[in-house]
Structure 1
Amino acid sequence: MKVLTVTLNAALDVTYRVDALEPGATHRVSDVAVRAGGKGVNVARVLCGLGVSVVASGFCGGAAGESLRADLARSGVPQAMFPISGETRRTVAVVGSAGEATLFAEPGPMVTAAEWDGFLGWFGEVEADVVVLSGSLPLGVPGDAYATLVRASRVPVVLDADGPALAAGAAAGPAVITPNRRELTAAIKSDCHEPAAASAPTLDNPLILGAEAALVSDGPLGMTLHTLDGVWTAAPPEVLAGNPTGAGDAAVAALVAAWHLPWPQRLAEAVALSAAAVRAPLAGDFDRSFYDQHRAAIVPTRL
């Protein structure tokens, strides 16, 4: 299987480790990590770790963009980043000693209409078995960009987005959407002009947004999978301390890597790999031994 991940608003991720984050205080940073990031890039990194063939794509520009490309090359993640004139954004995660993470995310570059059209032309020619669309939209890209990409794809699409971008993309009929509870709530609010309507989507029936399936995360409490064949829920084997920044991206990677398994098994894989990602220091990594040890112990419950 070959996977294409698309990160339209890719980032150069900077992670600072401190004893504790105190607003208004001076902090001594004990460790700094700089690496290619953005949700789809993280998914690609995890898929590489699982041995799945993947190519990371998206927009990339400026000095930060060159650093992003260089890090992907060092990491062995195949890439097809689309060049733009704007500067790739940076995100800064400040992680305390207990694993709590505070994220500062820049808005991203301005993408021109010509650059967007060029990417669409390239996307229409790419060969893949599954496409993953992840993250926020940069400035200049239409609000229905994900819907356009879903319709242009000739293969199943997994969509991991937020708010109006998620609502618009889901309406185009992707195979799976993967929001957390807050993102799903934001998408439903943006989609429902008449909240009292009988057909309005709710947290209990997210498939009415338009996707064939929905994997909804409740953080440390686990995940719920909604499909046309039924609804399942599963939780990690224990409450975990660590960095949750890349947990959702790991869940997406697991869902894709287990693409041909039955839905309950795919849910179990997503929960296990998400938990293993919390135990890793940086987004895009996961604790392999924890994943291998606990994945068989996670048994989804049908609701």
Structure 2
Amino acid sequence: MIITVTPNAALDVTYEVDALTRHTSHRVGTVTERAGGKGVNVAAVLATMGRDVLVTGLAGGASGARIRADLDARGLRHDFAAADGESRRTLTVVSTSDGDATVFNEPGPHQSPGAWQRLLDHVAALVTGSGARVVVLSGSLPPGCPQDGYAALVRRCHDEGAVVVLDADGDALRLGLAERPDLVKPNRVELTETTGVEDIPLAVQALRDLGARDVVVSAGPDGLTWYAADGSAVRARLHVSLDGNPTGAGDAVVAALAAGLAEGRPREDAVRDAVAWSAAAVLQPVAGEVDPSDVHRLELQTLVEDER
């Protein structure tokens, strides 16, 4: 069992218009709503690839009800803690004439200390009750939550015997490292912004100095590298180029890494899966989707090598 935690879950709303033009009104052609947030996307990929997964986090109000309803419709198991206020929405306006997208991200409702404690207790109870081997913590923290909130979640999950994957950036990542998550997955930009260090191996060491153990750095078309706490490193990359939608590719990486940890797979196999799953996600129009046939085909086109 894998549990994904999205503290700041969202209802993703997409409008399609012919063309987005400033200072004018628009007639919307199509409106879609979908449960969103990085942990939701991770769970959706895991479920598609046949893994046992449960979605949790904070959700509240009418938007929270719609998030739950969408997950039900998609067959994704969920058990959210009650949020203070209305769950946030993201609004994406897509111009059908050129495919450009403009995104508006709400910050999310302000959470009281009591709401944050509810989430901590709820996640711990879910880990205990399900026997989950891996917990994925991902995305932004809602306003009002402690800046070191992820550290508290890591500690509670470790106390229940779970391995923790942390996928965050900025202060949420930096302060979350204090409780030594088992694996963190920044992309190259997030790694540099968090540490202030341009050189990748030196930036990884800077994360370790803050408490990180294993670090997987993703670099888009250049693949990804798993820097293990024992000093070894393994890199995987696709040897063909792909065009498509990169939104959600990082979440597919996290899904594959979590599956690998839960199943005790060798790092070489886990990074191959991560590249293939993320590449398959690029071929899909929305985040949180992969086609298993694409995954299997792309695994055969993924190169894995020791990084010296």
TM-score above 0.5? yes
Which residue of structure 2 lines up, in the alignment, with residue 208 of structure 1? 209
In structure 1, the gaps of 5 or more residues are 196-200
Deviations, residues 154-193 of structure 1 (Å, cap 9, x unaligned):
311000001011011123111110111121122214xx9x
Distance 1:175 1:291, change over 3 A: same
1:135 aligns with 2:130: no
Q: Which residue of 1 aligns with 2:186?
A: 179
CA contact (8 A) 1:99 1:242 kept: no
Matches of residues 115-194 of structure 1 in structure 2 within 5 Å? Answer: 115-127=115-127, 128-153=132-157, 154=160, 155-189=162-196
Where structure 2 has 5 or more consecutive residues not aligned to the other structure, the ranges are none
Q: Does 1:36 align with 2:35?
A: yes
Per-residue deviation, residues 193-247 of structure 1 (Å, max 9, x unmatched): xx9xxxxx83353433322211111122221211124112222243222221111
- TM-superposed CA distance for 1:33, in Å, is 2.7
Q: Give the SS at the match of 2:203.
A: coil
Q: 1:95 Cα shift?
A: 4.8
The match for 1:261 is 265
**Percent of paired sites with the same residue:** 47
**TM-score scaled by structure 1?**
0.88
CA distance, structure 2, for counterparts of residue 30 and residue 281 of structure 1: 18
Say whether the 8 Å CA contact 1:6–1:134 is kept in structure 2: yes
State the alpha-carbon separation in 2 of the partners of residues 209 and 95 from structure 1. Answer: 40
Q: What residue number does 1:245 align with?
A: 247
Confirm or deny that 1:274 pairs with 2:259.
no
- Which residue of the partner structure matches residue 228 of structure 1? 229
State the number of aligned residues: 293
Compute the TM-score of the two structures, normalised by the length of structure 2: 0.87
1:171–1:272 distance in 2 versus 1, CA, 3 Å: same
Q: Which one has a larger percent helix, Structure 1 or Structure 2?
A: 2
Residue 286 in 1 paired to residue 290 in 2?
yes
Contact 1:12 1:91 in 2 (8 A): yes
Distance of 1:63 and 1:282 partners within structure 2: 23
- Shift of the alpha carbon at 1:299? 2.0
For the residues of structure 1 that align with 2:54 and 2:92, how far apart are their CA atoms? 25
**CA RMSD across the alignment:** 2.3
User: Displacement, 1:31?
Assistant: 4.5
Q: Which moved more, 1:17-26 or 1:33-42?
A: 17-26
